[in-house]
Homo-oligomer: A and B are copies of this chain.
Amino acid sequence: MSESFNKIICGDPFPGSKRVHVEGSKHGIRVPFREVALSPSRAEDREELPNAPVRLYDPSGPYGESGATCDLARGLSPIRRAWIEARGGVEERESMTPPRDGGAPPFPGRGTKMFRSKRGGNVTQMHYARKGRITEEMEFVAIREGMKPEFVRDEVASGRAIIPANVNHLEVEPCVIGRGFLTKINANIGNSAVASSVEEEVRKMIWAIRWGADTVMDLSTGPDIHETREWIIRNAPVPIGTVPIYQALEKVGGKPEELTWDIFAQTLEEQAEQGVDYMTIHAGVRLATVPLAANRATGIVSRGGSILASWCLAHHEENFLYTHFGEICEIFKSYDVAFSLGDGLRPGSIADANDEAQFAELDTLGELTEKAWRHDVQVMIEGPGHVPMDKIRENMERQAASCHGAPFYTLGPLTTDVAPGYDHITSAIGAAMIGWFGTAMLCYVTPKEHLGLPNKDDVRDGVVAYKIAAHAADIAKGHPRAREWDDAMAKARFEFRWDDQFHLAMDPIKAVEFHDETLPEPGARVARFCSMCGPKFCAMKISQDLRDYAKAKGLAPGEALHAGLEEKAREYRDNGEKSREKEVRRKKLEVRRKGKRN
């Protein structure tokens, strides 16, 4: 690991934002938020009216906290240890995973002991919720979401929401995924045989959550899968997901037909010991349904789905994930690993959307949801894919019905196939819509989709596109807190509080960079125009004048302007004249300071 690796972005909040915490009822519950302080509103010649700071949901962990120190070789603080130990029900024991050879350096800071439930025990959040218990994790997310803890407990107990928090991921700041809460987004990282390194993947995780990813999936298929994941989890304040079949496939030299239940079960235990919070399990790829995909335009586009389909065909047996599903539940309940029931038969093209193969798998996932719930194991359901807009609602309705309200977690969907290089946009459209219809988490797509492995810029573009989709969905759903953000931005915009606009932005750094491209001078930050229209044509400027005038004259909305308007009109022209002259003088000053004409 390079020397510079440990000196990563740490303690670097966005400009104008700071980290605040809200304390819970128990020790150690400190819920993080991003708080944006705003300048007061100041109409000309009038007193200042303060603007309350805006508090925003923030998954970036200590990396977004000024003054935080991060030593990646030590990992984050194990904030949940006290909660888990107090709850009881677990024992600490030696890892069952044999040490590994070669490749990436092992994570130095952890030791070899892990938590697991006592024999026959069940430590899932759903289990506690169904016993009427409000855990520290539930209280944490309740504060985070602005909801009551009892509401959280009820949603988790019913299966409509999940809190992915493996007992071995002590560093996670809990989050809740469910349609009754803010729409979440996931970013994928992970190496492949062709690209990337452990260091790069950890940086990507930290980068992804900086921009707003609520969970991160490590989809590594290349070398050092175990070590990469360890470094990631120990430094991740967000839930981490994986697709265990990839590592299992590596263990059998890349030959799907050599996979066995035993190898897979070992892989599950190994990953659960590390603290993986949720795992994609393609148990819906059934022997009888695989042929339904044979004549599709793009076949099977899920890596895991294609691996399991190969296995079924090679053995002419039912998918072993399906036949051993109960045993998977036994493992998961011992650690509180949540299912992400995989959509191995999702459509990979507009042509294949909503076909028989896709919905046959969905029906199986519904059956498996109930089975998992009998073990009190948490479940979310993965979804498509490529779906034209007119077929999106059907997906949501069918999933809600088939899967008894379990949270839906879609990949997009992409609404057209023809724009590789821009699939974060083709899919943000579908993701926003399906989020509005009730999807709980949206898995991001980057501009590199269909073309290659994403780099840092791609990760940022993908995350921001998906935060947009998720937030647009929250507004459309009428989430009580969603609009506060937009209203604060609109007010700052109308009042030309430029710095406030930048600070409030989803990406404050890009916002200021773009503005300053044409108007970099400090004076521009109080200018009542930007380079789009200039001072004479700025509609906001003119319309502010209108509003101030209407208010000053005591005109109420809808009031006829006819009464006594002659005089008012004359006053207005005079005021307007003075105001415009002032603007023109200010603009001339700007140009002079700039020293050149653009």
Contacts and interface: CB of A to CB of B under 8 A. Distances in A.
A401 B192 CA distance: 54
Interface in A341-393: 348-352, 388-390
Given A298-B540, A313-B546, A316-B562, A483 B350 contact: yes
Nearest to A475: B388
A345 B587 CA distance: 27
A556 B256 CA distance: 23
A560 interface: yes
Contact of A433 (B294, B389, B451): B389
A408 interface: no
Residue from A194, A428, A539, A550 whose CB has the most chain B CB atoms within 10 Å: A194
B291 A550 contact: yes
A583 B558 CA distance: 73
B418 A572 contact: no
Given A422-B510, A561-B313, A491 B255 contact: no
Interface in A511-531: 511, 513-515, 517-519, 529-531
Contacts of A505: 418-421
A546 B306 contact: yes
A309 B194 contact: no
Contact of A420 (B222, B420, B501, B562): B501
Contact of A301 (B389, B417, B543, B568): B543
Interface stretch (A113-121, A231-239, A462-470): A462-470
A452 B303 contact: no
A486 B418 contact: yes
Interface string A491-516: 10110000001101111001101110
A322 interface: no
A451 B542 contact: no
A534 B432 CA distance: 30
B530 A422 contact: no
Nearest to A550: B294
A313 B351 contact: no
Given A425-B425, A546-B294, A550-B291, A389 B432 contact: yes
A287 B561 contact: yes
A293 interface: yes
Given A297-B487, A417-B486, A476-B415, A221 B310 contact: no
B422 A569 contact: no
Contact of A257 (B194, B293, B557, B576): B576
Interface string A562-598: 1001101100110011001000000100000000001
A20 interface: no
B195 A531 contact: yes
A52 interface: no
Contact of A246 (B256, B537, B540): B537
A535 interface: yes
Contact of A559 (B291, B422, B493, B549): B291
Given A533-B221, A539-B305, A573-B257, A493 B349 contact: yes
A311 to B, nearest CB: 10
Nearest to A504: B418
Contacts of A265: none
A497 to B, nearest CB: 13
B415 A472 contact: yes
17 contacts: A193-B535, A287-B561, A291-B559, A297-B494, A299-B494, A299-B539, A306-B546, A314-B573, A316-B568, A351-B483, A390-B476, A415-B432, A415-B476, A418-B506, A422-B468, A422-B510, A452-B517
Given A221-B533, A389-B432, 11 more contacts: A256-B542, A298-B543, A300-B543, A313-B549, A316-B566, A416-B475, A419-B505, A422-B464, A429-B432, A451-B530, A452-B532
